[in-house]
Chain A
Amino acid sequence: MQNLVAILVDGTIYFSWLFIVSLGLTLIYGVMKILNIAHGSFYAFGAYTAASAIGAYFAADLPGAGSYLVLLAAGIAVGAGVGFLVERGILRPMYGRDEIVMILVTYAAFLIFEDVIKLIWGVDPYLPYQPYSLLGRADISGISFAVYDLALLLFALCLGALAWWTLERTRQGKLLRVVIHDREIALAMGIDVTRMFTLTFVIGAALGALGGALASPGISVVPGVGVDVIVLAFAVSVIGGLGSIAGAAVGALIVGVARAAAVHLMPEVELFVIYAVMAIVLTFRPEGLFGRAAPRKI
């Protein structure tokens, strides 16, 4: 019983940042049909920028409560900025190429960013622990957990609700859904698809970096933080169905709980479990749990 609660608590903690990161990935795929490997770099950029910003903020001896705002602002700003540069500079000349070629393009961008990050921040680890320890810990029925993680969970849920509301209830969201459904018809109906692409990529990249920024207080930020995150986010999006927000939520929950269960019950199978789930889901529902099957075109 104790174990079960611990698994659920840890699972939901994984869920929070996995969901934020995967939301960006799945949005970009849904609209642009680009499986963005550079998403791992956005995550790393967010984590490093947040770490530097938090370090500078606490060095200046400002009130601790403001650090959460710094965390959010750093993540969103760097993600949106780098995302905009990538979309304009690297992706735009490549639009219309095969999906596989686009994966390689983002892979190349990812390799470049790995070194850019090392050149900017060096190879020493950063530990922006202050926002994490400031909130302290709490007990619920004997299980102790950090209040920061709970806040992160609430934030992730609010973000999910906001994304759903934007897509389903606003004009811009409706236009975006048209592009997701059929790019060519959207173009024919007079929707500025290129502008939609830029907007989507910038928002998606900002979400990736935000995930990194919000995760950074709980981890040590070292070179290569982005590499594992990509395949995890892939697993989440693929399990839920690429391009679906509800899918990203369910995928993140499945991966989060599976990982937590493995860590608590059988640590040897931690990585194995996630990809095994991904392989099983793909085998029986290749379009993911919430994806729509594409008709075969002749």
Chain B
Amino acid sequence: MRRDLTLPALAAALVLLIVLGLVLPSWLRFLLTIGLAKGLVAMGLVVMMRAGLVSFGQGLYYGLGAYTAGLAANFYGIDDAFLLIALSALVSAIIGTAIGAVVTRFRQIFFAMLSLALSMILYGILVRSSVLGSTDGFNLPAPSFFGFAGEGDAGRLMLYCLTVVVAIGMAAVCHLFVRSPVGVMGEAILSNEIRVEYLGASVTRILRQTYVIGAIAGGLGGTLVALATRHIDPELAYWTTSGEFVFVAILSGIGHVAAPLLGMVLFEGFRSFAFQYAPNSWQMLVGGAMLAVILFLPAGLWSLSKWKRRAGGQA
């Protein structure tokens, strides 16, 4: 068995990304911030998908994280980025535990549909409540970092670094999780649930823990995006947003937990360029790219990295 180089590689990526952040132009740094933050949500989904839970409603936690940060900042004056992140992780974990207890009883299309319904409930509440900004949402103040005001370019650089640290840190946590007994049993559930029960493991408990990991990752991603764009609206919880996360998770492949971070950065980059150069047909380009990936790379982009090895091994 080959040695697992994931953790050193993640550490190297952390250093590289922060150094890059110092030299990159600010638009590219913003793109990376958004890509990594949304990538977190897709990463949580990948962890869930390894255990067979494909949620079409991760927008629920994405929106929840964003609105937790927004409400805490606007109504309670909490503008410390670290505090907001910790708060939304906590809220997502609590809500995820409660909802997870119900939804993990379901599989496949029923699980997907129930998660969709729950995220649309949040959307329905947000759209209709004027206290929460209704369809327009509301703006966030610039976050501070341990008392340092986060105005201007320095603040955006700080937020970028924070996003990189949270994203890479969560990738390490997710990696350790999928390698842990619970994570490995999750994969066993995907291939044969009944046999896992026969082995004496609790399928329900494993799935619940996996679901909470996905919820926390979703909440963190939502908070970081809210802090970066400084605006939140109900669209964050809409089903099209959730569909994007599923797409990126499948595009990246479930082979590696860090893949969705890369996949989401690529996706956001592709979308920005498509939007820039073809403002009236960018959805068409994105849809076409989706079809091409599904048709030609059924195991996701990450499968490209194994291509050569597999070809060599079988020859």
Chain A interface residues (CB < 8 Å from chain B): 35, 37, 90, 93-94, 97, 99-101, 103-105, 107-112, 114-116, 118-119, 227, 230-231, 234-235, 238, 242, 267-276, 278-279, 282-283, 286-287, 296, 298
Contact = CB atoms under 8 A, between A and B. Distances in A.
Contacts of A279: 114, 117-118, 121
A274 B125 CA distance: 12
Contacts of B246: 100, 103-104
B287 A110 contact: yes
B110 A272 contact: no
A275 B295 contact: no
Nearest to A271: B124
Which 6 interchain pairs have the tightest Cβ spacing?
A271-B124, A111-B287, A108-B290, A272-B124, A112-B287, A115-B284
For A90, A269, A283, the residue with the greatest tally of chain B CB atoms inside 10 Å of its CB is A283
Interface in B111-135: 112-114, 116-118, 120-121, 123-125, 127-129
Interface in B28-44: none
B114 A283 contact: yes
B281 interface: yes
Interface residues of B, number: 43
Contacts of A230: 239
Interface stretch (B10-18, B101-109, B307-315): B101-109
A287 B121 CA distance: 20
Given A115-B283, A296-B194, 16 more contacts: A35-B109, A100-B250, A103-B56, A104-B290, A105-B290, A107-B247, A108-B290, A108-B294, A109-B287, A230-B239, A234-B113, A269-B124, A272-B121, A272-B128, A275-B117, A282-B114
A282 B294 contact: no
Contacts of A101: 250, 294, 298
Contact of A111 (B108, B113, B290, B295): B290
B25 interface: no
